Amino acid sequence: MKLIRFLMPRMEYILFAAIFWGIAATGPILLNSDGDLPRHLLVGKLIRTTKTVNLNDIFSYRTTGYPSFPHEWLSQVILSIFNDLLGLGGVVLFAALIVMLVWAIIYYDVLQRSNSLMISIVFTGLGVGTSLIHILPRPHLFSYLFTVLWILVLEKIYKDKLQSWWLLPILMLVWVNLHGMFVLGIVIGGIYLVGDFFETPSKTWFTSTRTKSMLAGGVLSILASFLSPSGIGIWGAIASLSGNAYIKSRIPEYQSANFQMAETWPFILILLLTIMSFSRSNNKVTWRHVFLVTAFAGVALYSSRMLPFFAIVAVPIAAQSISEWLKKDYPSSRLWSTESNINAINQTSNGLVWVLIVVIAVGTLFRFNIPIDAGNKGNTFDPKFFPVDAVTWLKSNPQSGHVFNEFDWGGYMLLKLWPQYQIFMDGHTHIYGEKLTREYEQVITLSSGWESIFDKYQITWAIVRVQSPVVKALEDKGWKILYQDTTAIILSKP
């Protein structure tokens, strides 16, 4: 009997394993939906090799010597380690582990707040569904994890575990070296402070121990945010990027989501359930929770990359409110007795070993390059998305002079060809800024004067998509096609 209980998995463990497998099995999609990963892998490897974090750009001939503000250096190191261990499968494994960990923590938080197994599973599932819109093997995954941990610490402080404040600057010290969204921690801390004041709007609030604890944690966290290779300059870089309307308008993830697409429907459902539960709850919803949900709903509606953060913030709050409402209005519902019976059985089980088995099995399959995705493609860079074959040709047929390249191919070219070649541009727009980004757009759209950009930088060859209008424009000026496949064309100046 003990063995059966040990092996029989709890419902939440089945959910965790499903989350992990679901992410791991979409490896080819994760690896080929964004052009930034290759650069992250290169930079991480370079840091580990040289034991130095470069503060100036060395990858583009247009920005050599420009401040690079390496706000993701620690994430890049971690990604490169996973890549060295298991290849690109290791990168996918990393993403699956982080996502599973994030939602496992949230599940237990929801369970504690709602005291309902089924509500916890349902809302965790909705949260995962919402976050899928921006699950990529990139440093921002760490911001998901640290947002969860940050809120847990703030909730502890709010519940009079005041000694927990010292965890905030420690978390910030790590977060600021992992990803630029560390600023969310400061924002969330501010929301908690304002919400707490609205709960007790009096002079005593300013002298309360809780206020002092949150202020101490917040101030030291701000100071800790200066402890990265970029120092205080990282704040200026983030402010410059977030405040630049032009650059944000050119990056799809900064745009509002299309809410007619099915992938956004879990977000809509969470938002509607939150509104409904707030209006029906018999218990007063705290101001900090109202402000949190309102703020993150607003930014999620504005930018699709913020949808996962909304889910992380709102799921525990909404689940708690829904549970309080249903239990107050329907105390005799058979739902609760049924759930009680299911929960009793669930508590007698264990089965955590199956989560470990799934993780180890996936890691082993990736170690031997055995695909687990539905298309049986495996974890590789797709030649239909990246110029894989063209870059292979370049290794045997080197070109001289400066290159013009597609925006989202820059990282891949760096990973495979640097330091032999420097690129025109890649996705790190915080380095290039608006002026240099506009130069790229001027060429790729063949806007008036685009030829002057080629003259300015003495560009002698180009690698662009087959269907790019740049191909015809260059051919009309006598450029010759050196290489062509179904994805890329390489042209050379006569």
Q: Which DSSP string do the residues of 6-60 spell out, in sequence order?
A: HHSBPHHHHHHHHHHHHHHTTHHHHHTS-SSHHHHHHHHHHHHHHS---SB--SB
484 burial level (CB within 10 Å; 0-12, 13-18, 19+):
middle
Q: Model pTM? A: 0.94
- Percent of the chain whose pLDDT exceeds 70: 99
Give the total residue count for the chain. Answer: 494
User: Tokens 């099915």 — which residue?
Assistant: 262
Alpha-carbon dihedral angle through residues 343, 349, 353, 358, given to the nearest 10 degrees: -50
**In this model, does residue 384 exceed pLDDT 80?**
yes
Return the structure tokens found at 451.
């030829």
Q: Residue 335's pLDDT is what?
A: 86
**In this model, does residue 3 exceed pLDDT 80?**
no
118 burial level (CB within 10 Å; 0-12, 13-18, 19+):
middle
Higher per-residue confidence, 204 vs 381: 381
331 burial level (CB within 10 Å; 0-12, 13-18, 19+):
exposed
Q: Residue 181's pLDDT is what?
A: 94
**In this model, does residue 431 exceed pLDDT 80?**
yes
Q: How far apart are CA 195 and CA 193, in angstroms?
A: 5
The per-residue pLDDT for range 171-186, each reduced to its tens digit, is: 999 999 999 999 999 9
Using the 8-state DSSP alphabet, how is residue 380 labeled?
A: S
**In this model, does residue 274 exceed pLDDT 90?**
yes
DSSP per-residue codes, 414-482: HHHHTTT--BS--S-HHHHHHHHHHHHHHHHTT-TTHHHHHHHTTEEEEEEETT-HHHHHHHHTT-EEE
The per-residue pLDDT for range 31-71, each reduced to its tens digit, is: 999 999 999 999 999 999 999 999 999 999 999 999 988 99
Is the bond leading into 419 cis (omega within 30 degrees of zero)? yes
Confidence of residue 349 (pLDDT cuts 50, 70, 90): confident
